[in-house]
Amino acid sequence: MKISVIGTGYVGLVTGATLADIGHEVMCVDVDVQKVEQMKQAISPIYEPGLGDLMARNIAAKRLNFTSDPQSGFKEAEVIYIAVGTPENEDGSANLTYIEQAAKDIADHIENDIVIVVKSTVPVGTNHKIKQLVEAAVKGRARIAVVSNPEFLKEGSAIQDTFYGDRIVIGSDDEPSARIVEAINEPFGVPVFHTDTRSAEMIKYASNAFLATKISFINEISNICELVGANVENVAAGMGMDSRIGHQFLKAGIGYGGSCFPKDTEALIQIAGNVNYEFELLKGVVNVNRKQQLLLIEKLNACVDSLAGKRVAVLGLAFKPKTDDMRQAASLLIIEELLKQGAEVVTFDPVATEKAKALLNPSIVYANSLEAAVEGSDAALIVTEWDEIKNADLNVFAGMKRPLVIDGRNCFGLEMVKSHAIEYHSIGRPAIF
Ligand code: NAD
């Protein structure tokens, strides 16, 4: 099929490249001219394992194209995917400016009947509004159908998730259009769940809110474990063996970040609030996460008299490993707080440094290895569990000015730490001195 994709971020570019890979003719449209020129050369503007190769293969096969011009971008499309951002407004609600602009662009440039597929995470009722908006603007020139197809990929394993996902949700009140979207996705071989549009929109928010709840739950358990002398890893392992609970998302740490969980939990609180429902549980989840993200600072302050003039190594900047995404990364809050308390900050991240530079205070030093970051430091804070950090030789920490390691991701086994001369504090586990 001839498919256009609006927005080539983490979702749109992966969608475009994977749809091309299963044989569709894909035109990706983005307003960012510089990014479009880069992508035409098969250079991925984001770090996502395997994406550069996938782009190169499909560009060479002439199935994957890029443009910043909506007119040529939509001219031949039979189906248009919307994958633009839906960031957070100040009040927590989803900002639909980019969605509305995308709908307007479609209306201004399509010449034939079209199926619009909404990949972006949007509040319940938005697909319906997009249909109304486009229909009003095309004034009967073309038939418009809108299908909700929320995205569940995870950054860092996005391509794998697309080819081997748990489910593809297709929400539509128009049966023939839902079948078209099912046929497009058929080569992926992923189970399809058909439902009505509003339920599909809600599935996305409910899924993210549930995962965020699991994270905040185990983080609260980890805080209690520290107070009662239990070890959260043993607790999570024992809990997870219950098939009703499962092992996933039971890893204690310094909370969730990224471009989805923080904004989607806030947006769902708003969605509920708009119909006069107070989502008390989810409000708790969000509050727990806020506190948890600064737990490393609390632990660090308990170990030092003052942070003024201390050199602190922050290990990991991205919100999670295998991505360069810095949106709502805990590192941003942690570094801001360290600077506020007068510390000197040196950081190391294997891939997110360039993106971080645009967001962080110019006084930050960017080391190009973990060893260089911790050398001469008074403390090391582990923020992201990159393999480069998890596989580090603990002797490197033992050689620090003060061998104080505060591990927000429980990267190291306690027995292994005990055989090294370091002071080690982690999450929900006994400290080692
Ligand atoms: P992103 O910010 O990385 O990318 C959005 C892209 O859209 C940008 O390249 C921007 O230039 C482009 N854009 C904006 N307006 C445009 C327009 N009118 N025409 C053409 N291009 C336009 O966003 P993302 O992380 O890919 O997320 C997209 C959506 O998918 C969001 O709703 C998000 O919640 C959802 N989602 C994201 C993830 C994730 O892991 N990132 C996972 C599942 C769902």
Mutation test of ligand 1: which of 46, 259, 328 has the most ligand atoms closer than 8 Å to its C-beta?
259
Homologous superfamily (CATH) for 2-195: NAD(P)-binding Rossmann-like Domain (3.40.50.720)
Per the listing, tokens 């201004």 go with 108
State which of 6, 151, 161 you would mutate to test the pocket of ligand 1, scoring each by most atoms of that ligand within 8 A of its C-beta.
151
- Residue 256 has what pLDDT? 97
Q: What does 136-179 look like in DSSP terms, one character per residue?
A: HHHTTSS-EEEEE------TTSHHHHHHS-S-EEEE-S-HHHHH
Fold of 294-425: Rossmann fold (3.40.50)
The architecture (CATH level 2) of 203-289 comes to: Orthogonal Bundle (1.10)
The tens place of each residue's pLDDT in the chain, 433 residues long, gives 999 999 999 999 999 999 999 999 999 999 999 999 999 999 999 999 999 999 999 999 999 999 999 999 999 999 999 999 999 999 999 999 999 999 999 999 998 999 999 999 999 999 999 999 999 999 998 999 999 999 999 999 999 999 999 999 999 999 999 999 999 999 999 999 999 999 999 999 999 999 999 999 999 999 999 999 999 999 999 999 999 999 999 999 999 999 999 999 999 999 999 999 999 999 999 999 999 999 999 999 999 999 999 999 999 999 999 999 999 999 999 999 999 999 999 999 999 999 999 999 999 999 999 999 999 999 999 999 999 999 999 999 998 999 999 999 999 999 999 999 999 999 999 999 9
What are the residue numbers of the active site?
260
Give the tokens for residue 83.
Answer: 């994958």
The closest of 97, 99, 67, 66 to 84, measured between CA atoms, is 99
Q: Radius of gyration (Cα) for the chain, nearest Å? A: 23
Q: d(Cα 433, Cα 429) in Å, to the nearest integer?
A: 13
pLDDT of amino acid 90? 93
Query: How close is the Cα of 46 to the center of ligand 1, in Å?
Result: 12
By alpha-carbon position, which residue is closest to atom 41 of ligand 1? 10
Q: Among 74, 84, 207, which residue has the most ligand 1 atoms within 8 Å of its CB, making it the best to mutate?
A: 84
Distance 229 CA to ligand 1 centre (A): 44
User: Distance, CA 7 to ligand 1 centroid (Å)?
Assistant: 6
C-alpha 83 – ligand 1 centre gap (Å)? 5
Asked whether 324 lines ligand 1 (CB < 6 A), one says no
**Ligand 1 atom 25: residue of nearest CA:** 10
The pLDDT, as a whole number, for residue 413 is 96
Q: Is 28 strand, coil or helix?
A: strand
Cβ of 83 below 6 Å from ligand 1: yes
Domain residue extents for the chain = 2-195, 203-289, 294-425
Question: Which atom of ligand 1 has the smallest separation from the CA of 7?
Answer: 7
CB 381 within 8 A of CB 400: no
- Please return the burial class of 359, using the count of CB atoms within 10 Å of its CB with bins 0-12, 13-18 and 19+: middle
Residue 298: count of CB within 10 angstroms of its CB:
12
Determine the pLDDT at residue 294: 94
- Looking at residue 95, what DSSP letter applies? P
Q: What is the pTM of this model?
A: 0.95
In this prediction the ipTM stands at 0.99
Closest atom of ligand 1 to 155 CA is: 40
Examine domains 203-289 and 294-425 and report if their fold is the same.
Answer: no
